[in-house]
Amino acid sequence: MDVTPLERRVRTSRAERALQRVRDRLDSTDAVAFVHAGTDADGAVFGSEAVVVTPERAVSLVDDDRPGEPPRDDRLAVRTVHDPASAVARVVGEVAETGTVLAPRGIRYDAALFLERAGFEVASTTALAEARSVKTAAEGEALSHVGAATTAGVEATVDLLAGASVAADGTLRVDTGDDDGGTRRETGDGTDDADPLTATRLRRRVAVTLARAGVDAGETRVYGAGPSEGALVRDRPIMVDCRPRGPVGTRVRATWTLVVDGDGGWERRAHVALRAAHGSARGRLAAALDGETETAGSVVTELRAELAAYGFEDPSVAVHGVGLAERERPRGDDTIEPGQAVVVAATVTRAADGTVGEERRADAVTWVETYLLDDGVERLVSLPESVSVAAAHRAVER
C-alpha cells in the first residue's frame, strides 16, 4: 500500500518524539535500556512488534515473516528476527549483562519473562504514554484531516434525516436510489413505497462518507428508539457516536444528537445545557494554554457544575486524551498541556434514576467533541448547533 507524504511524516515524527522522551527517561535513571513488545498503542508509536532503545541506539524488531519498513533514519534500525518477543532480551544482552530495563505496563508477558530470565529487572515506565499525549505537527495535520472527514459525516446524517418522510406511525422513511452513495429520489408523500430509515442505514451513510476521505468509521454507532433494524422515529433523539480512525491510526471522537420533529421540550433544554457546558470546558482548556494549571479532572468538575446549573444533576461526563488509542493521557489528575488532543464528552438524560444504559439511549442527549490544543482550542469536528434536524440542515446549506 502506498504511503502518503503526510503518513510518512506522522510515523517519523512519532518515532523521533518517542525516542527523545525514552532517552530522557533513561538519562534520569540507571536503567540500561527501554523495551516494548506488543500490538497496543504504545507499540504503534514505532510501527513494529518490538523495540529496544539504549542511550546509543534503537532497534526495531519485526517478525521475519512480516518484514517491517526500511529504517526511518540512522537512529532507528530495523532487524528481522524469528520471534520479536523473545529477541528483546537478546538485543538488550548485547549492551549489558544485568540491570534495570524500563517497559510500558502493556509489554507482552512473555517478553518480560524472557528479560527476567536473562537477569534483568523490569520496571514500569510511562514514557511512551507521555510522548503520545503531545502531538507532533504532522499528527496535528492528520487529526485535522480525520476531523474534516467526520464533519462531512455529520452533514451526511443531517441531509439524510432532513430528506426523510414521516409515516403515519411516526417512523422515518427514505427512498434512496443509491443508499451508500447518498443519492435520494423524491418519493411523493414517502410513506408507502419508501424504506424504513434504520440506525444501520444511517451508520452506513456515515461510514461511506468517511471512507471517501480515506478514514475508517471504526466503532461508530447510531442509537434511536427500538432495535437497530427498526425504523427511527420522528420525535425521539437519534444519537450518532462516531469514532473514526485515520490511515496512520489517528483517532478522534464526535457524538451528536438530533431530533427530526420533537416538541421542543427536554431535548432542546438538554442541548442548550450541553452547549453551555462545552463552552465552559473550552474556557478551561484555553486557560491551560495561557499557563494556568488545569487537569482533565478540573474540566470534568466544570462540566458537571454547568450542567447542574441547568437542572441536570447526574450527567455522564468524561475528559481524556485521544490519539493512537481512544483513551489516553491526559486523564484524571494529568495536567493539560499544549499540543494535546482532548475529548470532552457529556450526556444528560430524562431517566428518573439518572442512568444512561443501552436501553435508554433514546432518552438521552449526548454531545462529544475533540479539541486540538495548538495555537488555540481548535474544534476538530463541526457539530450541529441545534438538536433540530431542520435547523441543522439550514445551517449546513448556508
Mean pLDDT within 371-394:
94
Grid cell listed for 266: 427536554
Region 166-190 average pLDDT: 62
349 pLDDT higher than 50: yes
- Per the domain annotation, does 199 fall within a domain? no
Within-domain flag for 193: no
- Tell me if 56 sits within 8 A of 75, measured CB to CB: no
Task: Please spell the DSSP secondary structure of 186-216, one letter per residue.
Answer: --TT-SSSSEE-BHHHHHHHHHHHHHHTT-B
Residues 11, 116 share a domain = yes
Query: What is the CA 48 to chain-centroid distance, rounded?
Result: 21
What is the length of the chain?
A: 398
- 265 contacts: CB under 8 Å, gap ≥ 6: none
Joined together, the cell numbers standing for residue 361 give 439511549
Query: pLDDT band at residue 178, thresholds of 50, 70 and 90?
Result: very low
Provide the grid cell at 195: 424504506
- Give the range among 57-61, 63-67, 149-153, 242-246 with minimum mean pLDDT: 63-67
Record the cell numbers describing residue 88, joined without a space.
Answer: 528483546
The DSSP bridge pattern shows strands 58-63 and 77-81 to be parallel
Clarify whether residues 244 and 122 are in a common domain.
no
Of 39-43, 290-294, 295-299, 389-393, minimum mean pLDDT range: 39-43
- Reported confidence tier of residue 229, pLDDT bands at 50, 70, 90: low
* pLDDT reading at 359 higher than 50: no
Across 137-151, 153-167, 319-333, 358-372, least confident range:
358-372
Helix (H, G, I), strand (E, B) or coil at 10: helix
At 40 the pLDDT is 87
Any domain includes 97: yes
Average pLDDT over the chain, rounded to an integer: 88
My answer on whether 116 and 246 are in the same domain is no
Reported as a pLDDT band with limits 50, 70 and 90, residue 352 is very low
On whether both 141 and 282 belong to a single domain, the answer is: yes
Does some domain include residue 12? yes
What is the rounded CA–CA span in Å between residue 71 and residue 51?
Answer: 13
Residue 208 inside a domain? The answer is: no
Q: Which residue has the higher pLDDT, 159 or 229?
A: 159
Please report, for residues 95, 232, 239, 249, 389, the alpha-carbon distance to residue 161 in angstroms, rounded to integers and kept in the order given.
62, 10, 12, 30, 7
The H or E element that residue 123 is part of is: strand 120-124
pLDDT tops 70 at residue 357: no
Say yes or no to pLDDT of 182 above 80. no
- pLDDT of residue 270 exceeding 80: yes
Cell 488545569 found at: 294
Q: Which of 111, 131, 151 delimits the end of a domain?
A: 131
| Residue the block writes with cell 466503532 | 219
> Three cell numbers at 183?
443519492
Q: Is there a contact between 130 and 23 (Cβ–Cβ < 8 Å)? A: no
Q: Do 45 and 142 share a structural domain? A: no
Note whether residue 194 is domain-resident.
no
How much is the average pLDDT of 34-49?
Answer: 88
Q: Kindly state the average pLDDT of the residues 182-195.
A: 48
Residue 363 clears pLDDT 80, i.e. is over it: no
pLDDT score recorded for residue 356: 46
Instruction: Say if strands 377-379 and 172-174 run parallel, antiparallel, or are unpaired.
Output: unpaired
pLDDT tens figures, 118-127: 999 999 999 9
Give the CATH number for residue 102: 3.40.350.10
Q: Which amino acid is at 106?
A: G
Contact yes or no for 235/363 (Cβ under 8 A): no
258 with 348, same domain: the answer is yes
Q: Residues 150, 96: one domain?
A: no
Q: What percentage of the chain has pLDDT greater than the value 70?
A: 88
pLDDT at residue 74, rounded to an integer: 57
Closest C-alpha to 365, from 380, 350, 353: 350
**For position 338, which CATH number holds?**
3.90.230.10
C-alpha cell read off for 273: 445545557
Q: How confident is the model at residue 181 (pLDDT cuts 50, 70, 90)?
A: very low
Asked if 101 and 122 count as a contact pair (C-beta separation under 8 A), the reply is: yes
pLDDT tens digits, 293-346:
999 999 999 999 999 999 998 899 999 999 999 999 999 999 999 999 999 999
> Of 131, 152, 180, which closes a domain?
131
- How high is the pLDDT of residue 44? 87
Q: 277: which 3 cell numbers? A: 457546558
Is there a cis peptide before residue 196, judged by omega within 30 degrees of 0? no
Are 339 and 381 in the same domain?
A: yes
What is the band of 353 on the pLDDT scale with cuts at 50, 70, 90?
very low
**C-alpha closest to that of 101 among 84, 117, 87, 121:** 121
Question: In this structure, are 295 and 359 located in the same domain?
Answer: yes
> Do residues 244 and 113 share a domain?
no
Instruction: Please report which confidence band the pLDDT of residue 132 belongs to, taking 50, 70 and 90 as the band edges.
Output: very high
Is the domain of 127 the same as that of 141?
no
> How high is the pLDDT of residue 66?
65
C-alpha cell at 143: 487529526
Domain that holds residue 304: 137-160+216-225+234-397
Is 286 contained in some domain? yes
Domain shared by 79 and 145, yes or no: no
Helices 296-309 & 266-289, crossing angle to 10 degrees? 150
Count the domains in the chain.
2
Q: For the residues of 289-347, what is the DSSP string, one character each? A: HTT---BHHHHHHHHHHHHHHTT--S-EEEEEE-SSSSSBSS-TTPBP-TT-EEEEEEE
Q: In the prediction, which pLDDT does 358 show?
A: 46
Mean pLDDT of 91-100: 94
Alpha-helix residue ranges (DSSP H) falling in the chain: 5-27, 41-44, 84-93, 109-117, 127-133, 137-162, 199-212, 266-289, 296-309, 389-397
Would 165 be classed as within a structural domain? no
State the average pLDDT over residues 351-366. Answer: 57
